Structure 1
Amino acid sequence: MAVACLEMAGEGDTPEKCRGARRRRIEMCQFVSAAEGASPPSSRRTGKRQEAFRESEPLEGQTAGNEAPLPTPPANSSLVTTSSSSPSTVSASGGEPGLPEIASSSRSAPAVVEPSVAYGTISLTGRSREMEDAVSVWPGFFRPQGSGPLHFFAVFDGHGGYHVAALCKDWMHVLLAEELGREMAAATEEEDMARTRAAVGRSFARMDELALAACACGKIGLPPCGCERSGIESEIVGSTAVVALVGVDRVVVANCGDSRAVLSRGGQAVPLSSDQKPDRPDELARIEAAGGRVIYLNGARVHGMLAMSRALGDKYLKPFVISEPEICVVERTAEDECLIMASDGLWDVLPNDVACDVARRCLEEADQSRGAEDVDGGDATAGGREQEQASDARCSLAAVLLARLALARRSADNISVIVIDLRRK
């Protein structure tokens, strides 16, 4: 599947890079020019946490943003089917209950399972100093018995550092597949949805335990490793998580934080998640009931520091900031067009309906091009492959256009976008 990764041009760019950037600007100029004309006045958004709590500068010899080596997750080839005793690719260690063991096997490519799904992704550093977002896509990562495959999509927006978002990217789909395997092995059709919700909730809880046990240097375990980065630098790091499981008949979205998933259905934008902000009435009541405070300092913040009320990690703000996700389940319909998942670098400057309109137009252009090609006839198999490639390309183009539009509207944060084609083929 196509994945695009761009970064802001700097003063050290070579002439070849500048010419390439100029060509991309020429291709996008018509769309971005129109977007800038409709852009709101420029305003720089404050960070998710106060500057005093930003991640410290990297140690000598390390690269900012992605500085620490992370454990390699186990191969996922055994995650596609379920059985009465699901394969324990991530098992709890005897001395550290709840924490996954670090397997030494290398990652394998996701299993190719039909029906396929078309998608496109993009991640931009944007105007932020560091890249703290992560995107995870695993098509066909799990197949319930007697049902079609589930496709895994997730956006993780880190704050205070990168290592929790990177850890989520490597482990969330592994933990979720294991929990689904345990639940679905004994589930009846009536219990299916309840057990899915339970599996998603437990996978988030286990992911949070893993994030809390991880040091900024990349080591995982209890007690902490004791290195010079194991103190406050590790405790102030966290990440949002918006996860979508796309199946044949339904879409399950789990959200923790202020990243967002929006469904385009029948020309309308349908939010599948709600931003978990400290001043949301129910979240404010929960925080205060736990003994916490919401202080308005450049916006509502938990204890004046974190601009969201739920996240993975953030050890120093427990128990006020929790990792329990809000889960939404929708049945797929013939009117579904696409699902957009993105970090708040997009949603802070782009309304849901505008984002859906941009993505929908990109997919409609693909349909028009495909219709013109069908008139000419040709080999059906080759045509099917070309159609899949065209759908991937259009989803990627939609993701790129959304990210460029966010930049045109002066987004000050990292921007990560996934566009998933949900139309019935």
Structure 2
Amino acid sequence: MEEEQLERVDSVTEPDLASTSSGFSSILNTEDSRSTSSSGDISIMSNSSGDIPAILVPEISATMQAEPMLSLEGSTMAVTVRQKCVGKNNKGVSYGFTTEIGRRREMEDAMAIIPGFMSSTCDQVGGCTAPGSKTSGEVSPVHFFGVYDGHGGSQVAKFCAERMHEMIAEEWDRETVDGFEWQRRWESAFSSGFERTDNEISEAAAPEMVGSTAVVVVLSGCQIMASNCGDSRAILCRGTQTIPLTVDQKPDRPDELMRIEGEDGKVINWNGARVFGVLAMSRAIGDRYLRPWIIPVPETTFMERTDEDECLILASDGLWDVMTNEEVGEVARRLLRRRRRSSTTTDEVSPAQFVANNLTEIAYGRNSSDNISIIVVDLKSKRKRQQRQ
């Protein structure tokens, strides 16, 4: 009887084969056109125009669901379920983006979307939800998203979009695991990457009165790692919650105000709190003329992924100036669910792109006076989206 039970269990738990992941890198900054939008799938399961052609990692054979493990205690058979990585090798993620010059004369925003900017095992990246499982030891892509809002010109924002992800990846490789807990290792990689970017801008002789915010998100199979300088922002929509992944670094934020005044700086209310009445943020890349009060030191947060996660949204303050986190989250959830129910495999506009387009229209309709740049990352795998339909 026990042998028959084991045979039946084995017959229903035969592993599926994970599909080959594909990859694409996109670095965007707009000068001449009024707006740009696009979308893509980090998966070869879609046949839309946004499919990503290049292979990120070799084909991986793995179970994509929880692995039942059997143990016999006397005459009773107990079934134990081993947990799997939430992101399931980080495949099936899709994104959409828009960048709109809005009511400004010049486009100073830039963004970078780099699927597979790193390839690593989940347990090496850190924060795996199922350490020791098969998926935790398999090589999978790690994705990068960044929004950069320039001020005084577009040079620094463009440079960040071209180089910052490379420097963060290099710093991650340079950091040693010994003596570093994984979160500390990522914090060090982000901090060094931001500092190197700032130093290289100085060496490139960019004007000292030009700077840029930076908000970046690294998405692994099990973790969402966000790092920011300035007032561009990232949020996570999870179930009915809207979770801020970053906090704006404004000159009147109590801890930032104390730091600035501790360096004999001044925060003056001139159309809002500004450092010496000039810059409306307290941290940024560039802006060498305001050192040491403006610093390129990021703040980093970590969020474990769950099956309830709907989407990530990164945007410049052209969106956040006219919409709160909660408003953006509510609109995104409503539009995503509506689009998923009605979309088909032949739709040219993905649910993530649909959300990005509509948020841009709302912000512009609310008289946003700034450039508007938005990235929406759909965290529901294509398989789950189809099941919900």
Q: 1:192 corresponds to which letter in structure 2?
A: W
| Structure 1 residue 306 displacement after superposition | 0.5
| Structure 1 residue 213 displacement after superposition | 2.3
Which residue among 410, 413, 425 is the counterpart of 2:367? 410
Name the residue aligned to 1:356.
329
Tell me, what secondary structure is at the counterpart of 1:269?
strand
Tell me, what secondary structure is at the counterpart of 1:151?
strand
Inter-partner Cα distance in structure 2 for 1:390 and 1:177: 34
| Structure 1 residue 289 displacement after superposition | 0.7
Q: May I ask how many residue pairs the two structures share in their alignment?
A: 291
Relative to structure 1, the CA distance from residue 359 to residue 4 in structure 2 (aligned partners, 3 Å threshold; closer, same or farther) is farther
Per-residue CA shift, 1:184-231, capped at 9, x if unaligned?
xx4269722221111111101101111222334xxxxxxxxxxxxxxx
Inter-partner Cα distance in structure 2 for 1:198 and 1:421: 28
Relative to structure 1, the CA distance from residue 337 to residue 344 in structure 2 (aligned partners, 3 Å threshold; closer, same or farther) is same
CA contact (8 A) 1:119 1:392 kept: no
Per-residue CA shift, 1:108-131, capped at 9, x if unaligned?
xxxxx9624200010000001110
Name the residue aligned to 1:142.
118
Name the residue aligned to 1:345.
318
Name the residue aligned to 2:155.
163
Name the residue aligned to 2:305.
332
Is 1:214 equivalent to 2:171 in the alignment? no
| Structure 1 residue 255 displacement after superposition | 0.7
Q: 1:408 corresponds to which letter in structure 2?
A: G
Is 1:121 equivalent to 2:81 in the alignment? no
Inter-partner Cα distance in structure 1 for 2:167 and 2:29: 27
Q: 2:248 corresponds to which letter in structure 1?
A: D
Pairwise CA RMSD: 2.7
Relative to structure 1, the CA distance from residue 207 to residue 392 in structure 2 (aligned partners, 3 Å threshold; closer, same or farther) is farther
Q: Normalising by the residue count of structure 1, what TM-score does the alignment of the two structures yield?
A: 0.64
Inter-partner Cα distance in structure 1 for 2:29 and 2:237: 22
Tell me, what secondary structure is at the counterpart of 1:144?
strand
Residues 9-408 of structure 1 mapped to structure 2, 5 A cutoff: 115-145=91-121, 146=137, 147-183=139-175, 186-187=176-177, 191-216=181-206, 234-369=207-342, 386=345, 393-408=350-365
Q: 2:173 corresponds to which letter in structure 1?
A: G
Q: 1:307 corresponds to which letter in structure 2?
A: A
Name the residue aligned to 1:101.
none
| Structure 1 residue 264 displacement after superposition | 0.6
CA contact (8 A) 1:119 1:391 kept: no
Q: 1:215 corresponds to which letter in structure 2?
A: A
| Structure 1 residue 178 displacement after superposition | 0.7
Choose between structure 1 and 2: higher strand proportion. 2
Tell me, what secondary structure is at the counterpart of 2:302?
strand
| Structure 1 residue 361 displacement after superposition | 2.1
Tell me, what secondary structure is at the counterpart of 1:323?
coil
Q: 2:165 corresponds to which letter in structure 1?
A: H
- Structure 2: gaps spanning 5 or more residues: 1-23, 36-53, 59-88, 122-136, 385-389
CA contact (8 A) 1:252 1:329 kept: yes
Relative to structure 1, the CA distance from residue 334 to residue 268 in structure 2 (aligned partners, 3 Å threshold; closer, same or farther) is same
Tell me, what secondary structure is at the counterpart of 2:153?
coil
Q: 2:161 corresponds to which letter in structure 1?
A: K
Name the residue aligned to 1:420.
377
- Structure 1: gaps spanning 5 or more residues: 10-76, 82-112, 217-233, 374-385
Q: Normalising by the residue count of structure 2, what TM-score does the alignment of the two structures yield?
A: 0.70
Query: Which deviates the most, 353-362 or 305-314?
Result: 353-362
Relative to structure 1, the CA distance from residue 8 to residue 192 in structure 2 (aligned partners, 3 Å threshold; closer, same or farther) is closer
Q: 1:267 corresponds to which letter in structure 2?
A: T
Residue identity over aligned pairs, in percent, reads 48
Tell me, what secondary structure is at the counterpart of 2:159?
helix
Inter-partner Cα distance in structure 2 for 1:266 and 1:285: 37
